[in-house]
Amino acid sequence: MHLVYACAPLSVASLAGAQPVPSGPPPRRIVQLSALLAMFAFFTAQIVSALLPNAPVLVVASAGGLALDVYLQYRDPGLLSLLGKVRFDVTVRQLLRDMLIVVGLLRIDDVGELSETAPLLVALCVFYAAHFACQAAAVLVRRTRTLPIVTRNIDASALKLTTAPPRILARRQGHRLLTFSIPATIGLLGTAATGDGLWGAIGLGITLVMIFGGTAYLATWLLPKKRAKSEAKVMEWLDKWLAAYKPTVAMYFSGGTTSAYQANMWLSTLSAIDAKPLIVLRERFMVQKIEATDVPIICFPKVTTMFSLENSTLKMMLHPANAAKTSQVLRIPTIKHAFINHGESDKLSSCNPYAKAYDEVWVAGPAARERYALAEVGVEDKDIVEVGRPQLAPIRPYSGAPTGPYTTVLYAPTWEGWDGNPGNTSVVLAGENIVRELLADDGVRLLYKPHPMTGSVDPRAGAANERIQAMIREANTKRSGSRPGAEAAAELARRTVELDKLTSTHFRESADELERMLLQGKPQGNREAAIAEATLAWEKAYWAAFPEWEHQIITDARPGIFACFNEADLLVSDVSSVVSDWLSSEKPYAVANTSGMSEEAFRAGFPTVSAGVILTPEAKGVPALLESVRHPEKDTFTAARAELKEHLLGPSDPPSLARFNAAIDALCRKADERRVRMEDRLADEIPSPRGAVEALESEAPEDSVNA
């Protein structure tokens, strides 16, 4: 039997009794502190040895300090950023290091003559002047390579896109300074050790050649041949592209680095609609966060450039999430807006008052319509449109009781959330008890897929998550049986490589926005269909690569939640959109009640749990739950699940995608009708020049006209 458990967010206040998180500085902090102390020790030794003077110590301390700085620059730049906050950045450190070497040279008897050290000092100053000139060139190059928009899946070669300059020249001034300083420092230390100024001259000569050559090479990106077009030319090109492509529907998305999944869940639907789709983003980094798709993508970092959409053929926008920048696009009067959300649940966040800002709110089924009515957040019933959940098509329907020796259960808890509500997640209060009860049944195979943000707010949730995983690993050590052969592992590896090639885009280290636009300029045919086929093949190989008796801890993006749905016979979850999606299969499910409410109040307050078993934090009902899954005649919720499915997701006929397309057509017609009304109104209010002349002539006296 296969067991799936989906867990809701857990509040901090409800985590009493959880084991404390170990205190004390982690090993990495100790290493970082040691590195900083070593750096200051090297500088101290440099100062003392330069003033004494002591050439051997000066050489060792200077070389050691430079080596440590270079190492940290490449391996732990975050540590050095702390020094930058107190104005002791890489430029100050290297300048101090070089000046201490020069002071040492002036005090060493063998090389202390000014006539010998003056040329070296002048050459060193020239190097720093060249370094700052190179940095100025780097700033200019970056500015010329920052366009007002960023695109993907659009052929933008007309914008004269070129590959990026080496990153060490254009974007890493600290790496450049330290790397180019190495020959000069070695040469100066050679002079300090031997008393021969030739070593310093050779080292500084190599450094100067490197910095001047690098600056000259970087400056070639400022020449007309490599310069991208101006902002005006770019926007002119975009207007022409929009006129040629003629988009009608766009998905608008803005958010943080971890929120891209909210848009990604709609990609398959967006590519399947009948209209001409477009994806509109607002953050530059988000362009690469959107998963593989053939839909054209345009990012408008500035609101002024986004208003170019007002004069396009775009009729409506779909909004999977609310964001601060959403209000900006709502100001475009020619476009209608529909809020589609990124999941539906009984939580209050599914009825945000911001939703009343949209022209329409698209929901899955009648339950969401009722939820908005009860919430009284200003969304009128006439503006709610039921479209189902087109993304749920890959979920297979219930096919009866488990037939093999194991029942697969999916435990997929959600995270603890921001509001401290103890009912958010079951990980802290109930997770270990639920897993313990499931593992106690020899006929259960557990799939544990925690929310990736578990523990991000409440450390006790993270600690409970770690303990749950330890319990599962220990349970696996007590099981034995045959394992799939090497062929299964080889097949999974082959399918992984195949899928990675389709879904991953690899850029060289120095690639910037313009280079990525160049490489991602043209859609790769029917890429999404190929990815869907490769994903199915990968999922089949994944499950075949593990024995059917082995519990699984799934923390990677693959396999996805829907793949786990199809593998599982039972879901254990919390109040979340996971339950709504699972109901499309009509398989049994259970929800953990960690809210402190009675079961009656819990069922009344959260309609999505009404067709499932309610588990207390002690998880005492797990054995009976498993019995009902294995013997469907004991399942008292079969009819209720079918009824709740339609209540939550709407009818199966017509299909959800058909209803989604119908909603798009209807809202686009409203946009067209508004445009016609506005054009007619403007025509009435502002007569044409020809019409104005005719009106004046008709009003003039007849004799004046004849005259």
Fold entry, domain 1-16+401-476+550-652: Rossmann fold (3.40.50)
Specify the pLDDT at position 349: 61
DSSP 429: I
pLDDT of 510 above 70: yes
State what percent of residues in the chain have pLDDT above 70: 92
Q: Identify the pLDDT of residue 114.
A: 57
pLDDT at 234 over 60: yes
CA torsion 461→467→468→469, rounded to 10°?
Answer: 110
- pTM greater than 0.85 (yes/no): no
Q: CB–CB of 402/632 below 8 Å?
A: no
Compute the average pLDDT of residues 318-344. 93
Backbone region of residue 321 per phi and psi (left: phi > 0; alpha: psi in -120 to 50; beta: other values)? beta
| Residue 626: both structure tokens together | 């498993």
Same fold, 1-16+401-476+550-652 and 231-342+345-388: yes
Work out the average pLDDT over 511-539: 87
Domain ranges of the chain: 1-16+401-476+550-652, 52-144+170-221, 231-342+345-388, 486-503+510-548
Report helix, strand or coil for 461: helix
Residue 678 has a CB neighbour count (10 Å cut-off) of 12
Residue 372 structure tokens: 């908005």
pLDDT given for residue 18 in this prediction: 36
Select the more confidently predicted residue: 5 or 115. 115
Instruction: Tokens 């798009």: give the residue.
Output: 664
**Rounded Cα–Cα distance for residues 656 and 213 (Å):** 61
DSSP state of 524: -
203-218 mean pLDDT? 97
Least confident of 76-85, 90-99, 125-134: 76-85
Q: What is the pLDDT of residues 28-46, one digit of tens each?
A: 788 888 999 999 999 999 9
Judging by DSSP bridges, how do beta strands 297-299 and 150-152 pair with one another?
antiparallel
Give 323-333 pLDDT, tens digit per residue: 999 999 999 99
Mean pLDDT in residue range 150-166: 93
Cβ count near 513 (within 10 Å): 22
What whole-number percentage of the chain has pLDDT above 90?
70
How far is C-alpha 658 from the chain's CA centre? 30
Q: Is the pLDDT of residue 3 over 70?
A: no
Residue owning tokens 């000569």:
205
How much is the pLDDT for 690? 55
Question: How high is the pLDDT of residue 221?
Answer: 96
Position 509 confidence tier, pLDDT thresholds 50, 70, 90:
confident
The predicted pLDDT at position 22 comes to 41
Indicate if the pLDDT at residue 531 is higher than 50: yes
479 in Cβ contact with 546 (< 8 Å): no
pLDDT (0 to 100) of residue 27: 76
- Tokens describing residue 356: 């009343």
253 in helix, strand or coil?
strand
Task: Tell which wins on pLDDT, 16 or 362.
Answer: 362
CATH of domain 231-342+345-388: 3.40.50.11720
The pLDDT assigned to 347 comes to 65
Over residues 4-22, the pLDDT tens digits come to 433 333 333 333 333 333 4
Contact 544, 491 (CB under 8 A): yes
Model pLDDT, residue 17? 34
Query: Could you report the per-residue pLDDT of 407-460, keeping only the tens digit for each?
Result: 999 999 988 887 778 888 999 999 999 999 999 999 999 999 998 889 989 999
Q: How far is CA 168 from the centre of its chain?
A: 26
Condensed to tens digits (0 to 9), the pLDDT of residues 41-85 reads 999 999 999 999 999 999 999 999 999 999 999 888 888 888 888
Q: What's the CA gap between 605 and 589, in Å, rounded? A: 18
Q: Give residue 491's pLDDT.
A: 96
User: With b meaning 16 or more CB within 10 Å and e meaning fewer, what string describes 226-243?
Assistant: bebbeeeebbeebeebbe
Is pLDDT above 60 for 707?
no
Asked if pLDDT for residue 648 goes beyond 50, the answer is yes
Burial 74-87 (b: 16+ CB within 10 A, else e): eeeeebbeebeeee
User: What is the residue-averaged pLDDT of the chain?
Assistant: 89
Distance CA 447, CA 33 (A): 40
Q: Tell me how far apart the alpha carbons of residues 4 and 410 are, in angstroms, rounded to a whole number.
A: 1
Report the distance separating Cα 689 and Cα 683, nearest Å.
12
Q: Give pLDDT tens digits for 593-620.
A: 999 999 999 998 888 899 999 999 999 9
pLDDT tens string 468-499: 999 999 999 999 888 998 999 999 999 999 99
- From first CA to last CA, the distance across the chain in angstroms is 102
Provide the CA 417 distance to its chain's centre, in angstroms. 18
- Residue 388, judged by CB atoms within 10 A of its CB (0-12, 13-18, 19+), counts as buried
CA dist 281 and 269 (Å) reads: 17
pLDDT of residue 705 exceeding 80: no
Indicate the pLDDT class of residue 23, thresholds 50, 70 and 90: very low
